[in-house]
Amino acid sequence: MKKEYKTVYVYEKDVINDDFDKILNTWAEDGYTLHTIIPYILEGSTNGYTIIFEITVNHEN
């Protein structure tokens, strides 16, 4: 088993509401779990987020 990561960039103001929930739920439906959320801050305002998801996969070699 191996962990893999997927990075999603969200460059929108005020996305933390319903749209943010939709993003998290969409990835969760595919088996990903939330690893990290990093806000993108510019001149004291949050202008987006970097969201990192992780998933454990089985690799048969």
d(CA 12, CA 46): 9
Beta strands in 1-61 (DSSP E): 2-10, 33-42, 45-57
Strand (E) or helix (H) holding 52: strand 45-57
d(CA 38, CA 36): 6
Residue 17 or 2, more confident: 2
| The pLDDT value given to residue 56 | 92
Q: What is the pTM of this model?
A: 0.77
Choose from 5-9, 16-20, 43-47, 57-61 the range with maximum mean pLDDT. Answer: 5-9
